[in-house]
Amino acid sequence: MKVKKLSLLFMLMVALMWFFVACGDADEETTTDNGEDSGETSDENVTYHYFIGGSGRDVHTNETVIGEIFEEQTGVNFQVEYLVGDLNERIGVMLAGGTYPDVVVGAGTEDMLVDAGAFIPLNDLLEEHGPNILEMYGEYLDRFTYPDGNIYYIPFGAEINEYQPMANIDQGAFWIQRGVLKEYDYPEVKTLDEYFDLITRYADENPEIDGMTTVPFTGIGHDTNFFRISNAPNHLAGYPNDGGIMIDMETHEASVYADSEHAKRYLEKLNELNAEGYLDQEMFVMNNDDYLAKLSSGRVLGFFDYGWAFGDARNALQEANDPDKEFMALPIVFDEDIKDQYIDPPAFVQNRGTGITVNAENPERIIQYWDNMVKEENQRLIMWGIEGEHYEVNDEGRYYRTEEQIELVRPQSFQEEFGMTTFSWDWPRINGTFSDGNSIEPRRQPEVATLEYREGDREYLDAYGIDTFSEIFSLPDDRPWYPAWSANIAPGSDADIFEENSDQLLKRHYPRIVLADPSSFEAEWDTFVEAYRSLNVDAYEEFFTRTVEERLNGNWQFGEE
């Protein structure tokens, strides 16, 4: 996904605004170990503060089954704190006070934390205490080594052994309430016009669902979520998520699409929907909690989004046990002759990760913990659970789950208590396959995916003649540079300034364009294009064209513009 990196100027402004708050919170940002100095000796148990710049449930890792096992193995526990409120403000508090949690997952602010001196170099610690990390991340190490030769954080999801595609869609798609498909005898829906024709027809015939007003089409564009609206034209044109640019498959040249004919075509369609009363009036202003609640209500017919971004709503709909109210992902494109590319190619995002801050005492213990958790047996524990309880191994050595085990591990409550929710991301981890050929993630293991489907799921799979929901999507084309958006853009560079200004322009103008009277659409669009083209578009495109060329030549290192 494309998440905006914070500019140094903005961060300093936030820092000044929140300086006194930081001073007041300083005592809460220190390493603790049940009241004693953290990690006085390697034999004593210690608790570190682990801040994650995303949503989740605060927890001490040793309150989970997995975390308790890891504490027994290492003597380390983490107080995991997730973001509440605005990430920019929280990072600003840290920068203002110069006091940090022991570990920070920056969620796009990593460069700023490195520039501020918040993260310590990890090279020597990895050499001495992280042999498993170095082995698992071996071919990727250069990709997250900074120009000064240092590694400051560990990214997530190093691909090892074989790439395994998803059985279900967890990336971008146009989603539709499954009952809409059922109502019209499971039609094949490929183009944007077909998609909206189906939704608006159903909305006309069903203005209310369960006593609530039907929401034909929605989305979320609040704050850092705006990419979940602005990325849609790129996918409709047949491109994967390379960020704010498209990469030509033949010339490998990068071009922006925010003011392209693709974007105009999509926004014009939303403008028409709005004029006809089919567009959610809150899609540009509601926060993520309100958005998830709306999706969970069962009255939304369609939206564009990334599957990973609304997992809580998907879980809520599953637990409501009304399969027709759940959503099905569709590979919608503008025209019949466009090949969809919603499924990500093999990828490694090297500019997001978890770093140890200058406030962490005895940081070697954190590295030892991470090194222990990336061992195959512990990755199996995190992803699969305990053999004989949560999964089985057949005579051919393939992992699978019985129907009873699937029902056991399915509930969110189980995953939280066991620790799968806590450890499955935001920590050093691997993707692909184990050394025995089994998928690291159960959701990518065919033997599991097909058994996980309930009767309500199979009704739709059978209707479309597929075994898994991802089969209606095209397999990804080879893009060795992917994802381009993970390139390191130097703070204050032309590309960095363009991203900041572009982001603000899109947030300001796209809602105006979509919500305008249709007679004003062209004028609003032209005003946006003029403002957008006043930015240094050429420098931005040149930066990514150069990045792609360098990656094709094997150079993935961080570099200054």
**Sign of torsion, CA 191 315 60 384?**
negative
- How much is the mean pLDDT over the chain? 90
pLDDT for the residue 10:
43
Q: Which domain holds residue 243?
A: 172-345+449-472
Together in a domain, 195 and 100: no
User: Which of 13-27, 70-84, 221-235, 469-483 shows the lowest mean pLDDT across its residues?
Assistant: 13-27
Q: What percentage of residues in the chain have a pLDDT greater than 90? A: 72
Q: Give the HSE-up count for residue 338: Cα atoms under 13 Å, Cβ half-sphere.
A: 20
How many domains is the chain built from? 3
Together in a domain, 236 and 315: yes
Together in a domain, 180 and 302: yes
Q: How far apart are CA 148 and CA 248, in angstroms?
A: 32
Residue 2 lies in a domain: no
Together in a domain, 253 and 206: yes
pLDDT for the residue 400:
94
Residue 484: pLDDT over 60: yes
- Asked whether 340 and 331 are in contact (CB, 8 A), the reply is yes
pLDDT for the residue 523:
98
The CATH number of the domain holding residue 127 is: 3.40.190.10
pLDDT for the residue 439:
94
- Asked whether 125 and 365 are in contact (CB, 8 A), the reply is no
pLDDT for the residue 557:
63
Residue 49 lies in a domain: yes
CB-based contacts of 382, cutoff 8 Å, min separation 6: 66, 373, 419, 420, 423, 424, 429
pLDDT for the residue 393:
96
Together in a domain, 412 and 546: no
Together in a domain, 409 and 503: no
Residue 1: pLDDT over 50: no
Q: pLDDT tier at 543 (50, 70, 90 boundaries)?
A: very high
Beta bridge partners, 32, equal 47
Tens-digit pLDDT profile for residues 398-427: 999 998 999 999 888 999 999 999 999 999
Together in a domain, 338 and 198: yes
Together in a domain, 359 and 231: no
Domain endpoint, select from 432, 463, 493: 432
Residue 557 lies in a domain: no
pLDDT for the residue 269:
98
Q: How far apart are CA 48 and CA 81, in angstroms?
A: 11
Span 211-236, mean pLDDT?
A: 95
Residue 441 lies in a domain: no
Q: How far apart are CA 348 and CA 357, in angstroms?
A: 23
Q: How far apart are CA 366 and CA 102, in angstroms?
A: 9
What's the pTM value of the predicted model, to 2 decimals?
A: 0.74
pLDDT for the residue 558:
53
Residue 277 lies in a domain: yes
Span 269-273, mean pLDDT?
A: 98
Q: How far apart are CA 561 and CA 510, in angstroms?
A: 29
Residue 306: pLDDT over 80: yes
CB-based contacts of 524, cutoff 8 Å, min separation 6: 509, 512, 513, 516
Q: pLDDT tier at 108 (50, 70, 90 boundaries)?
A: confident
Together in a domain, 132 and 262: no
Together in a domain, 212 and 241: yes
Residue 78 lies in a domain: yes
Together in a domain, 459 and 541: no
Together in a domain, 296 and 332: yes
Q: What is the DSSP letter of 337?
A: T
Residue 39: pLDDT over 70: no
DSSP labels, 281-298:
TTTTT--HHHHHHHHHTT
Q: How far apart are CA 391 and CA 405, in angstroms?
A: 7
Q: pLDDT tier at 34 (50, 70, 90 boundaries)?
A: very low
pLDDT for the residue 414:
95
